[in-house]
């Protein structure tokens, strides 16, 4: 299986409103943390996220979280590329 590109090693913290979001799983999107279609030609696809109320979220940007799409601290265990 392909490995995602590490977009950055810290979470992307945002205040967001209710809605549907498409989280980038490949790490290639120029509009992190959201999908811009850069995954085309790979085994990756965006992950649909439904947010029901306004809140602050920490989106995973290393793409290695076990709590997709939210940061779980996995970036701290990644080696330097």
Tell me the pLDDT tens digit for each residue of 32-52. 999 999 999 999 999 999 999
pLDDT tier at 23 (50, 70, 90 boundaries)? very high
Q: Is the pTM of this model over 0.85?
A: yes
Compute the distance between CA of residue 50 and CA of residue 52 in angstroms, rounded to an integer.
6
Q: Contact, 6 vs 53, CB < 8 A?
A: no
Looking at residue 78, its pLDDT comes to 83
**Residue 33: count of CB within 10 angstroms of its CB:** 26
């Amino acid at each position: 299986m392909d490995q995602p590109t590490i977009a950055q090693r810290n979470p992307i913290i945002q205040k967001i409103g209710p809605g549907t979001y498409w989280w980038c799983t490949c790490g290639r999107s120029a509009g992190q943390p959201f999908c811009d279609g850069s995954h085309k030609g790979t085994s990756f696809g965006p992950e649909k996220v439904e947010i029901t109320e306004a809140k602050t979220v920490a989106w995973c940007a290393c793409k290695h979280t076990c709590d997709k799409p939210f940061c779980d601290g996995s970036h701290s265990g990644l080696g330097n590329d």
